[in-house]
Chains A and B, each alone.
Chain A
Amino acid sequence: MIRLENVSKVYKTSTRPALENVSVDVGKGEFVFVIGPSGSGKSTFLRLLLREEVPSRGKVFVSNFDVAKLPRRRVPRLRQTIGCVFQDFRLLTNKTVFENVAFALEVIGKPAHTIRKVVPEVLELVGLDGKADRMPRELSGGEQQRVAIARAFVNRPLMLLADEPTGNLDPDTSQDIMLLLERINRTGTTVLMATHDQSIVDSMRRRVVELDFGRVIRDDARGVYGYGH
Chain B
Amino acid sequence: MRASFVFSEVSTGLRRNVTMTVAMILTTAISLIMFGVGLMVVKAVDLTKDNYLDELEVAVFLTDEISKKDTNCTAQPCASLKQDLELNPAVDTVVFRNQTEAYEVFKKAFKNEPTMLELASPQAIPASLQVRLKSPEQSGAVVKGFSERQGVSLIHDGGETVDRLVDSLRVLRNVTFVGSLVLLLAALLLIANMIQISAYTRRTEVGIMRLVGATRWYTQLPFLLEAMVAGAIGAVLAISGLLSMQVLLPSGFANQLENVVRFPGTFYTAFVISPILLLTAMLISSLVGYVTLRLYVRH
Q: Which residue numbers of A lie inside 8 Å of B, CB to CB?
A: 50, 72-73, 75-84, 90, 92, 103-104, 106-109, 111-112, 151, 155
Query: Could you say which of A50, A75, A81, A109 contacts B218, with CB atoms under 8 Å apart?
Result: A109
Q: Say yes or no: B205 contacts A79, CB within 8 Å.
A: no
Among B5, B211, B212, B215, max chain A CB count under 10 A is at B212
Q: Is B69 an interface residue (CB 8 A)?
A: no
Q: Say yes or no: B218 contacts A108, CB within 8 Å.
A: yes
Q: Say yes or no: A104 contacts B2, CB within 8 Å.
A: no
A80 to chain B: which residues have CB within 8 Å?
212-213
Q: Is B111 an interface residue (CB 8 A)?
A: no
Could you write out 6 A-B pairs with CB less than 8 Å apart? A75-B213, A76-B213, A90-B208, A107-B209, A107-B219, A112-B2
Q: Say yes or no: A92 contacts B205, CB within 8 Å.
A: yes
CA distance A174 to B171 in the complex (A): 75
A155 to chain B: which residues have CB within 8 Å?
212-213
Q: Say yes or no: A106 contacts B2, CB within 8 Å.
A: yes
Q: How far is the CB of B251 from chain A (nearest CB, A)?
A: 53
Q: Say yes or no: A107 contacts B212, CB within 8 Å.
A: yes
Q: Say yes or no: B2 contacts A109, CB within 8 Å.
A: yes
Q: Which residue numbers of B lie inside 8 Å of A, CB to CB?
A: 1-2, 5, 204-205, 207-216, 218-219, 299
A90 to chain B: which residues have CB within 8 Å?
204, 207-208
Q: How far is the CB of B244 from chain A (nearest CB, A)?
A: 39
Residue of B whose beta carbon sits closest to that of A115: B2
Q: Say yes or no: A76 contacts B214, CB within 8 Å.
A: yes
Query: Could you say which of B207, B214, B216, B299 contacts A108, with CB atoms under 8 Å apart?
Result: B214
Q: How far is the CB of A150 from chain B (nearest CB, A)?
A: 12
A108 in contact with B1 given A90-B204, A92-B205 (CB within 8 Å): no
Q: Say yes or no: A72 contacts B209, CB within 8 Å.
A: no
Sample of 15 further A-B pairs with CB below 8 A, known A76-B216, A107-B212, A108-B213: A73-B215, A76-B215, A79-B211, A82-B213, A83-B212, A84-B211, A90-B204, A90-B207, A92-B204, A106-B2, A107-B5, A108-B215, A109-B1, A111-B2, A155-B213
Query: Could you say which of B1, B208, B219 contacts A104, with CB atoms under 8 Å apart?
Result: B208
B208 to chain A: which residues have CB within 8 Å?
90, 92, 103-104, 107, 151
Residue of B whose beta carbon sits closest to that of A95: B205
Q: Say yes or no: A78 contacts B213, CB within 8 Å.
A: yes
CA distance A82 to B211 in the complex (A): 8
Residue of B whose beta carbon sits closest to that of A76: B213
A79 in contact with B210 given A72-B299, A107-B5, A112-B2 (CB within 8 Å): yes
Q: Say yes or no: B213 contacts A79, CB within 8 Å.
A: yes
Q: How far is the CB of A229 from chain B (nearest CB, A)?
A: 33
Q: How far is the CB of A104 from chain B (nearest CB, A)?
A: 4
CA distance A81 to B215 in the complex (A): 14
Q: Say yes or no: B216 contacts A73, CB within 8 Å.
A: yes
Q: How far is the CB of A49 from chain B (nearest CB, A)?
A: 12
CA distance A170 to B204 in the complex (A): 25
CA distance A115 to B204 in the complex (A): 21
B2 to chain A: which residues have CB within 8 Å?
106, 109, 111-112
B219 to chain A: which residues have CB within 8 Å?
107
Q: How far is the CB of A118 from chain B (nearest CB, A)?
A: 14
Q: Say yes or no: B212 contacts A108, CB within 8 Å.
A: yes
Residue of A whose beta carbon sits closest to that of B206: A107
